[in-house]
Amino acid sequence: MRLYVGNLPFSTTDADLRQLFEEHGSVREASVVTDRDSGRSRGFGFVLMDDPAQARAAIETLNGYMLGGRSLTVNEARPREDRGGFEGRRFAGPGRGGPRGGRGGWHGHEGRPPRGPGGGADRWSRGRERGDAGRRGGWGQSPGRGGRGGWSSGGDDEG
């Protein structure tokens, strides 16, 4: 039976968790969940016990148990729910990096965002199609600087 153990002190290790539950029966696996970026504990973990009767006894005894000044929450683990997003895919398919990895991108639009409804100017290209990019603060330009759009040193673009 798989058990959820919540409100763990952040200093708890896999070995500490295993030792705590082995007092109540045979433990096949014990793991503290860590943040994938920092490696720091996320304050919860899971314990896998072979005997359901021993697992229930551990729940009865350890739920509310004080460990490192924190009251543990121990119960039977529920299956992970589908949290949506990415339609079951992780960074795959159109707009999600494709075969080269990464996050996003505008595939099939020659490196620029797609146009809005009707094919006219949208929030990405407004002003730049009509040649007044400088007046409207074109790419990399401050509003009211004049010029032709593109990168600007902030000075006079005439020349």
Q: Domain holding 59: CATH number?
A: 3.30.70.330
What band does 82 get if pLDDT is binned at 50, 70 and 90? confident
Of 32, 37, 1, give the one whose Cα is nearest residue 16.
32
What band does 47 get if pLDDT is binned at 50, 70 and 90? very high
Residue 59 lies in a domain: yes
pLDDT of 113 above 60: no
Residue 15 lies in a domain: yes
Total domain count, the chain: 1
Residue 159 lies in a domain: no
This model's pTM is above 0.75: no
- Total number of residues shown for the chain: 159
Residue 126 lies in a domain: no
Residue 36 lies in a domain: yes
CA distances from 122 to 49, 108, 114 (A): 58, 18, 9
Residue 32 lies in a domain: yes
Q: What range does the domain containing 63 cover? A: 2-76
